[in-house]
């Protein structure tokens, strides 16, 4: 038989494919073996995003059999620099990142700092997602949400920077419920609580758990929850007077759900994305991680893959009228 006959060639092809199939399979499944994964965190070291990344990153390393998961802090410009860096990274499955979902507001209002479309990211999952709650200082005359609604003089509330989640949530809620709130921006992190203790700020809107210590110590009390269920505390949706108000409250609620999101750059190959999603889910279901997170006081309320993608796409899917309301609400001149 001549070696160049058609049958022989087909036989050789079949045999080599049969041998290479396990190798190919090994290549996809063992893709991360011996490789380093970079986990971009859009804040400085030491904060919440950094803590979640380090916690999850350590477990991802095991689940993927990767050499290391390296945390790379890329802070600045309210998470925009880190997010842009992630979007620009090589889509080879070896870079992932985490940043504030508040950038969704940025995309809705056409913020030029955002250099990509959030819909195009390879969404891996989210680790937390807490309802927002309104807290007032014990030194403030406002004791209930009804007092706030009835207030004739503007009531001082704190916000972080212009465009931050706390600022956006406070502005949007005051538009939705017709609250006479004067936001004083520039209070980072726990500075706001100190200001409330001093009595210069009446209240703030933030995640439920971040104010728990403050409330437990008797310095303040919860008066409203947005998107959550707190015993004895009224829900913002009950005070939404019309469809527009309900839409806004729902948006705040949806945004609050998207806590500690993680994603891969656009055009990350599907196999690698699936591997990352699987490992991420496995990490967040690992009892060891849950125990450590609980010890650190970091709530874990996960969602994965396409569920997160749908939440993001849904939040970005607003009518032109809604976008106008949001832009006007977030416009600092409205202060």
Question: What is the contact surface with other proteins in residues (CB under 8 A)?
Answer: 44-47, 50-51, 54, 72-78, 80-81, 84, 112-113, 156, 161-163, 182, 184-186, 189-191, 193-195, 197-198, 200, 213, 216-217, 219, 295-297, 332-333, 335
- Measured from the Cβ of residue 54, the count of other Cβ atoms closer than 10 Å reads 14
Q: Which tokens sit at 283?
A: 């990490």
In the complex, minimum distance from the CB of residue 202 to other proteins, in angstroms, rounded to a whole number: 11
Q: Are 41 and 72 in contact (CB under 8 A)?
A: yes
Q: Are 162 and 312 in contact (CB under 8 A)?
A: no
DSSP state, 95?
E
In the complex, minimum distance from the CB of residue 9 to other proteins, in angstroms, rounded to a whole number: 54
In the complex, minimum distance from the CB of residue 260 to other proteins, in angstroms, rounded to a whole number: 15
Question: What DSSP line would sit under 32-93, residue for residue?
Answer: TBT-EEEEEESS-TTSHHHHHHHHHHHHHHHHHTBSEEEEEE---GGGHHHHHHHHHS--SS
C-alpha distances (whole Å) from 285 to each of 53, 60, 77, 103 are 15, 12, 33, 27
In the complex, minimum distance from the CB of residue 311 to other proteins, in angstroms, rounded to a whole number: 26
Residue closer to other proteins by CB (options 50, 257) is 50
Residue closer to other proteins by CB (options 188, 310) is 188
Residue closer to other proteins by CB (options 26, 199) is 199
Residue closer to other proteins by CB (options 158, 268) is 158
Residue closer to other proteins by CB (options 33, 217) is 217
In the complex, minimum distance from the CB of residue 60 to other proteins, in angstroms, rounded to a whole number: 15
d(CA 289, CA 56) in angstroms, rounded, equals 8
């Amino acid at each position: 038989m001549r070696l160049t006959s058609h049958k022989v060639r087909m036989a050789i092809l079949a045999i080599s494919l049969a041998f290479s199939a396990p190798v190919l399979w090994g290549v996809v499944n063992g893709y991360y073996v011996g490789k380093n994964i970079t986990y971009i965190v859009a804040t400085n070291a030491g904060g919440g995003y950094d803590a979640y990344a380090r916690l999850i990153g350590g477990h991802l390393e095991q689940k993927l059999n990767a050499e290391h998961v390296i945390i790379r802090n890329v802070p600045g410009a309210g998470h925009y620099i880190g997010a842009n860096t992630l979007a620009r990274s090589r889509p080879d499955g070896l870079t992932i990142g985490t940043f504030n979902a508040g950038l969704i507001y940025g995309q809705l209002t056409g913020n030029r700092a955002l250099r990509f479309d959030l819909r195009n990211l390879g969404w891996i999952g989210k680790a937390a997602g807490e309802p927002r709650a309104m807290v007032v200082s014990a030194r403030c005359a406002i004791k209930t949400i009804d007092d706030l609604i009835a207030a004739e003089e503007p009531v001082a509330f704190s916000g972080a920077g212009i465009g931050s989640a706390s600022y956006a949530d406070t502005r949007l809620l005051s538009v939705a419920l017709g609250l006479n709130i004067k936001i004083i921006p520039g209070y980072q992190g726990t500075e706001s609580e100190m200001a409330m203790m001093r009595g210069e700020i009446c209240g703030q809107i933030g995640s439920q758990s971040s104010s728990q210590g403050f409330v437990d110590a008797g310095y303040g009390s919860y008066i409203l929850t947005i998107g959550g269920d707190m015993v004895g505390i009224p829900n913002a949706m009950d005070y939404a007077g019309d469809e527009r108000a309900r839409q806004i409250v729902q948006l705040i609620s949806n945004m609050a759900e998207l806590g500690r999101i993680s994603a891969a750059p656009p055009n990350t190959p599907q196999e690698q994305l699936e591997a990352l999603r699987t490992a991420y889910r496995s990490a967040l279901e690992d009892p060891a991680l849950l125990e450590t997170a609980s010890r650190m006081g970091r709530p874990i309320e996960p969602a994965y893959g396409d569920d997160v993608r749908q939440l993001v796409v849904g939040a970005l899917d607003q009518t032109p009228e809604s976008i106008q309301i949001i832009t006007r609400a977030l416009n600092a001149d409205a202060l």
